[in-house]
Amino acid sequence: MANSSSAPSKLLLPILSLAVLSTWLVTIIFQILLIDIAKYYQIQIGTASMAASVGSVSGIIFGLLMAVVSIRFNHKLLLLSGLVCTILGILGYYFAPNFASLLAANIGVGAGIAIVNAMSFSIIGDNYPLEKRGKAVGVIVAAMTFAFVVGSIAVGVIVSFGDWRLAVILLALPFAIASLVLAAFVVPRRPILNVHVNKEPFSIGCKLAFSCLSTVAALLVTMFLLCESAISYYSVSFFRDQFGLSATLGASFNLIANVASAVGGAVAGLMVNRVGRKKLGTITLVISSGLTIMFMFMPTLELSGFIGILRFWFSSMAMTAGGSLILEQLPKFRSTMMSLNTVFMNLGMFVASLIGGFMLNGYGYQALGLVLGSLGIVGTIVWITLVKEPVLQNKNN
């Protein structure tokens, strides 16, 4: 029940969005300049792409840690600690003398993404009523994709006079520091909503989560969705390798695609209450998965690029629907649930990075798109058959 005498600051959602955006910028720089980084360290592209697996493992570990500590510790403090991890990861990237050091820096990057994303969703649950949470989740998902818009523009400019290291220090670091300072002042220390906060052991929240088939299925769908959406990680490298695009033109594609993705996430946030989280997720995930399979088989740059942009739109909508549904699975253990969701997000990215490295080194981009798109189809089947929408159940009861 909301406290009628207070409401979230109008700056809260923009600051949470900025915090989430800042954690993804290093990953975006790596994605756009993957070929350049592979050349710099004199390794294969597929091998370089597997650096993401280190960040994903870190995200899994810290996501599990958040599921434990978020029950008893302040969400604002945990959010700030995630931004500190991001800053440390950025500095590690900049000063990395070899590829092994770059892999180590990904620990901080993965930790920052896991902590900040989980705590941002938890803070939304702490401070926004049910009817506003879908829109708020849509804004956060849009912020993730808008990070690619910001990154694409900035990287395209910076590489015209510098290298990937300069992009890291001029782009990622200022955003992370600004997010840390603003979040320290704006994010409330205590939840605005008068909700009961469980102090039971972490094991109880996990037991409830994993004893419910719908909840387990929703988490698995998160994993499959992140596997499917990981194709975006390889999109720019695909166009550069297959069609000879420059880094600047590759960044331009990333810009257009992620504008579509950001708008798609925001639109989905406005639609979830009207259409329903499950129905919206079903439609958008099956379309996104089909487009993932198709776009790397197209014979021309124009057709492939158009289908790729559509894929970004529908994938972002599916992510918003999925995040909104998972947020309501266990309302009394919301922070635990969102931390577990972050774990499964990173598990999906980890699986996708291993598949990506193996398929690129051995079979090529088309085989990669086929496998990742098929995983999205599997996720759609799980979503349709096993996931239930608790908000609708509550209304029916």
pLDDT of residue 1: 40
User: Residue 397: its pLDDT value, please?
Assistant: 41
DSSP 8-state symbol, 197: P
- Amino acid occupying residue 311: R
Task: Provide the pLDDT for residue 389.
Answer: 75
The pLDDT assigned to 374 comes to 92
In sequence order, what are the residues at sequence separation of 6 or more whose Cβ sits closer than 8 angstroms to the Cβ of residue 108?
A: 58, 85, 86, 87, 88, 89, 90, 92
The DSSP secondary-structure symbol of 168 reads I
pLDDT of 287 reads 92
pLDDT tens digits for the chain (397 residues)?
A: 444 446 667 888 899 999 999 998 998 888 778 888 888 888 887 777 777 778 878 888 887 787 777 777 788 899 999 999 999 999 999 999 999 899 899 999 989 988 998 888 888 877 877 677 777 877 887 787 778 778 878 887 888 888 888 999 999 999 999 999 999 999 888 766 555 555 555 567 677 778 888 888 889 988 998 888 888 878 878 888 888 877 777 777 877 887 888 788 888 888 877 888 888 888 998 899 999 888 888 888 888 888 988 998 998 888 888 877 877 777 677 777 777 887 888 888 888 888 887 888 778 888 888 999 999 999 999 988 888 876 544 444 4
What pLDDT score was predicted for residue 5?
44
CA neighbor of 230 nearest in space, from 373, 389, 46: 373
The pTM for the full model equals 0.69
DSSP state of 296: T
Are 153 and 70 in contact, with CB atoms under 8 Å apart? no
Closest among 328, 68, 317, 89 to 206, alpha carbons compared? 68
Domains of the chain: 12-189+198-396 (1.20.1250.20)
pLDDT at residue 281 in the model: 84
One-letter identity of residue 381: I
Alpha carbon distance 365, 349 (integer Å) = 17
DSSP state of 332: G
